[in-house]
Each structure stands twice: as C-alpha cells, then as structure tokens.
C-alpha cells in the first residue's frame, strides 16, 4: 500500500515537471548507458589492461632481461672453461672473475625484483645455490692441466647446467605469465566491446522510448489545445481545455480557458447591452420588436390574453427645460423603476425611445387590462422626483392600450395603441385610453 502511494507521488511529481526538465531527464536517460560504459571501460582498462600490461613490462625489465644476460654469461663461462681445460693456461682467470662479477650483479638485480614477485624466490635461491658451488670449484678447474677431466670439472659443468636449467624454468614461467596477461587483456577488450555494444542498443532504446513518450504527451496536449481552439471558434465555449502536462502547455490551456471565460462574459455583456437600455436598464426597442413578434405568433386566436400599453411621459420637454437634462434623466429612471415594480412576473417592460415606454401584459383578462394600466399611471403620478434645487417634483404619464386579436399584425397593434395614446394626450394627458374605447379619467 505504501509502495503504491509512493509510486503515485513519483508519477505525479514527474507529470508536474516542466518541458525543459523532461528534455533534460530524457537526455540524462539516453546518456546513462554511455556514462556507465565509460566508467566500466575506465575501470576495466585500469584494473585488467593497464595494470596487467605494466606488471608484465615491469617483470620483463626487472627479471627477464637480467635472466637473459646471465644465460649468455653462463654459455660464455662454460665455453671458456672447456677451452681452458683442453689448452691450459691461467689467462682465463681474469675473464672468469669479470664474468662472475657480472653474474652476481644481475642476480642482485633479480633479487631486488623478486621482492615484488615472491613466487620466483625459490627458483632464484636454487640458481644462487648452484652458482655458489660453481664459484667454489671454478679456481681448481681453471688451474687444471690441459685435457684433464677431473671431478671438479664435472661438478662445475653439472652446477652451471643446473643453474642454467633453473633460469630456463624462470624464463618459461615469465613467458607463460606474459601469455596469460595477454589473453586476459584480450578478454577484457572483448568484454568492453560487448558492454559498449549493449550500451549503444540501450541508448537507442532509451532514446526511442523517451522521444516517443515526450512526443505523445506533447501531441496529445497540442491536439487538445487545437481542438479547444476550434470549439471556441465554432461558438462552443462551455467546455474547458483540459491539459495538465507539461506545465508549459497547461499554462497555455489555463490562459486560453481564462480568455474564453472572459469572452463569454464580454459576449453576455454585449448581448445584455444589445437587449437593454443603457440609461434605464429596461429592455430596449430591438427586444420589444422581437417579443412582439413572438407574442403575435403565440397568441393566434387567443384574443384578449395579451395587451400592449404604449406610455408617454407628459410634458417631458418642459420638465427638461425647467429642471435640466440630468433631472430629466432621473425622472425617466424613476418612471422606469415604477413600471418595473408594478409589472407582474409575466409582464415585460421596454423603453420604446425618448420618453416613451411600452408594457406587454401577458395572460391577462380584458377587465384586468385597464386596472393594470390605471395602477401604473397612478403610481407614477405619486412618485416624488428629487430636483437639483433640493425640492421634489412629479411627472404624469398618458397610456394607450391595445389588446391582441387574431389577424392583427405588429403594425396594427402598435399603430392602434399609439393612436389611443395620442387620444389620451389630446384629451388632457394623465389618462388611460383603450383603443377604440372611451378614455378613463384620472
């Protein structure tokens, strides 16, 4: 359970890495086999190639070369002693002493080298032992008469031969060790070649997996961004673009979503501005025309269920001239507020233009139409309007009423309501007139 949580955290942490970190991590993964191979190759070279080669060269320089010199001297000494035993004379003593001194020097060098190669020590002790015996019998052999073969000469030949054979054994062991070192070096090189080849394949595999993974993540996220942009372009702004990786593209998606939300807000504001009157907040003339057309289509033969009120503020120009345009604007806003407050939930209030308003009364009976109109007229007349001088004033409205009827067009209804409004204003204002009906006085 704990392992699962840790793995999930690790995956989530990886998903939250930036694209730059992804690329860096991918490059590190690709380079990991090469780095491992380099480390392994260095260690292999140092431990099994370089060290072995150095040891072999060191052994040859410190032991093999002195050994070969001693063997040459042994051959020369043996040849000189044989000649001396056949011809006689003491001149060979000085030559032997020089050769003996050279042998002793080379043996000393070999003993110094043996301290680093103790496995050869017993062989060198044997060589030294036989050489010491050679030195003991050599003076007697040198002074012996020509063509005389005595025991000392036989001992001399035997001891120097055994010393030579042991030197030969030592040379053979050095040669065998050199071959072993050579084979070991070749094997190490072959192992390195195998590891290097494996590293190449691993690096290629890691590169393919890394590139494929990053490509798929980028392509999926990019496709989502493009798909989201196309949806927004086609008018679908409800669905957000869901991109979580990499963080750079997630930031782009979040910015795009924020922009889309802002567009939706601005479009709503534009739609509201297109539907509403800026000063009063009521629906505007364009919205009135649309709603009238819808009501006419919906009404059909249901005469009397819908009525139109055409409203005009009485003597509004005079009010403006007397109190100023700002006071006039306040008066229009207060009239609009009263109309909206007196309207039922099914009714709709519009600013028709200037100081004119309209009200669509829906689902209302004929005897209720005039009552509603009178209630509105009376409420407006009672409303106190603040004036710039600190006092309060009032305005009145005239209303023309027309009920919807089957077969009547937009122009018919609006025209008859407007005619009734004209009659109300002509008969003294502050009145409600039903189209083709008598006026109702205040």
Q: Cβ neighbours of residue 181 under 8 Å, at least 6 residues apart? A: 52, 53, 55, 56
SS3 106: helix
Whether 240 is catalytic is no
What's the whole-number mean pLDDT along residues 154-164? 81
In the numeric block, the tokens 């009135």 are attached to 288
Closest alpha carbon to 264 in 241, 232, 287: 232
Under DSSP, is residue 363 helix (H, G, I), strand (E, B) or coil?
A: coil
CA–CA distance from 40 to each of 35, 45, 50 (Å)? 9, 8, 14
Average of per-residue pLDDT values in the chain:
81
Is the pLDDT at 439 greater than 50? The verdict is no
313 within 8 A of 355, measured Cβ to Cβ: yes
Distance separating alpha carbons of residues 240 and 260, to the nearest angstrom: 8
DSSP codes joined into one string, 159-180: HHHHHHHHHHHHHHHHHHHHHH
Q: Are strands 356-362 and 385-386 parallel, antiparallel or unpaired?
A: unpaired
Band of the pLDDT at 415, cuts 50, 70, 90? very high
Is residue 378 helix, strand or coil?
helix
Higher per-residue confidence, 261 vs 87 = 261
Handedness of CA 272, 274, 279, 282 (dihedral sign): negative
pLDDT surpassing 70 at residue 363 = yes
Question: Which of 120-129, 152-161, 255-264, 334-343 tops mean pLDDT?
Answer: 334-343
Is the Cα torsion angle 437, 440, 441, 442 positive or negative in sign? Answer: negative
**Predicted confidence (pLDDT) per residue in 75-133, tens digit:** 777 777 766 665 554 446 677 778 878 888 887 877 777 666 667 778 778 888 888 88
User: What is residue 339's predicted lDDT score, i.e. its pLDDT?
Assistant: 97
pLDDT of residue 150: 67
- In this structure, of 89-103, 161-175, 184-198, 384-398, the range with the lowest mean pLDDT score is 89-103
Task: Give me the helix-helix angle, 151-234 and 247-275, nearest 10°.
Answer: 0
What mean pLDDT do residues 343-365 have?
94
**Distance of CA 229 to CAs 19, 128, 247, 256, Å?**
22, 96, 18, 8
Distance CA 308, CA 405 (A): 11
Q: Per-residue pLDDT tens for 48-89?
A: 677 767 767 766 667 777 877 877 887 777 777 766 665 554
- What pLDDT does 288 receive? 95
For residues 410-431, average pLDDT: 95
What's the distance, CA 246 to chain centroid?
4
Interval 402-410 mean pLDDT: 89
Phi-psi sector, 437: left (phi>0), alpha (psi -120 to 50), beta: beta
Measured distance CA(300)–CA(407) in Å, rounded: 8
pLDDT higher than 90, residue 211: no
The radius of gyration of the chain's CA atoms, rounded to the nearest angstrom, is: 60
User: What's residue 87's pLDDT?
Assistant: 58
Q: What is the pLDDT of residue 300?
A: 59
**Count of C-beta atoms within a 10 Å radius of residue 280:** 21
Q: Give the pLDDT confidence score for residue 1 in this predicted structure.
A: 57
For residue 228, what pLDDT is reported? 81
Q: What is the DSSP letter of 436?
A: T
From 313, 322, 315, select the one nearest 391 (Cα to Cα): 322
DSSP 187: H
User: How confident is the model over 313-328, as a mean pLDDT?
Assistant: 94
pLDDT band of residue 440 (cuts 50, 70, 90) is: very low
Q: From the CB of residue 9, how many other CB atoms can be counted at a distance below 10 Å?
A: 10
Residue 29 pLDDT level (bands cut at 50, 70, 90): confident
- Tally of CA atoms within 13 A in the half-sphere of 70 that contains its CB: 28
Window from 79-83, 177-181, 365-369 with minimum mean pLDDT? 79-83
Catalytic residue among 48, 355, 391, 403: 355
């Amino acid at each position: 359970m704990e392992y699962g949580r840790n793995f999930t955290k690790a995956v989530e942490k990886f998903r939250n890495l930036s694209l730059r970190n992804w690329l860096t991590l991918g490059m590190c993964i690709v380079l990991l086999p090469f780095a491992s191979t380099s480390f392994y190759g260095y260690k292999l070279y140092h431990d099994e190639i370089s060290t072995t080669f150095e040891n072999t060269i060191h052994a040859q320089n410190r032991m093999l070369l002195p050994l070969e010199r001693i063997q040459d001297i042994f051959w020369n000494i043996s040849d000189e002693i044989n000649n001396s035993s056949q011809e006689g004379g003491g001149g060979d003593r000085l030559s032997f002493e020089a050769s003996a001194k050279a042998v002793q020097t080379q043996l000393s060098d070999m003993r110094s080298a043996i301290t680093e190669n103790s496995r050869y020590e017993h062989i060198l002790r044997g060589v030294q032992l036989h050489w010491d015996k050679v030195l003991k019998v050599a003076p007697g052999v040198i002074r012996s008469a020509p063509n005389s073969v005595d025991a000392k000469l036989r001992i001399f030949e035997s001891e120097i031969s055994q010393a030579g054979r042991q030197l030969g054994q030592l040379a053979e062991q050095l040669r065998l060790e050199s071959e072993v070192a050579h084979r070991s070096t070749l094997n190490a090189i072959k192992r390195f070649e195998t590891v290097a080849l494996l590293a190449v394949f691993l690096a290629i595999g890691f590169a393919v997996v890394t590139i494929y993974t990053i490509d798929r993540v980028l392509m999926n996220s990019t496709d989502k961004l493009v798909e989201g942009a196309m949806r927004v372009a086609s008018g679908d702004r409800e669905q957000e673009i869901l991109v979580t990786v990499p963080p750079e593209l997630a930031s782009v998606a979040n910015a795009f979503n924020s922009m889309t939300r802002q567009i939706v807000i601005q479009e709503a504001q534009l739609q509201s501005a297109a539907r509403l009157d800026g000063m009063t907040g009521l629906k505007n003339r364009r919205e009135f025309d649309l709603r009238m057309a819808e009501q006419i289509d919906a009404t059909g033969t249901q005469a009397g269920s819908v009525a139109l009120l055409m409203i005009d503020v009485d003597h509004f120009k005079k009010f403006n001239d007397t109190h100023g345009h700002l006071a006039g604007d306040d008066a229009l806003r207060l009239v609009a507020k009263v109309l909206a407050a007196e309207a039922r939930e099914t009714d709709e209030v519009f600013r028709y233009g200037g100081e004119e308003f309209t009200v669509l009364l829906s689902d209302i009976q004929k005897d209720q139409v005039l009552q509603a109109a009178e209630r509105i007229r009376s409420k407006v007349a009672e409303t106190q309007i603040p004036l710039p001088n600190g006092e309060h004033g009032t305005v009145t409205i005239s209303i023309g009423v027309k009920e919807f009827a089957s077969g009547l067009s937009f122009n018919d209804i609006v025209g008859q309501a407007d005619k009734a409004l004209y009659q109300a204003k002509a008969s003294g204002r502050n009145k409600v007139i039903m189209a083709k009906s008598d006026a109702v006085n205040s």
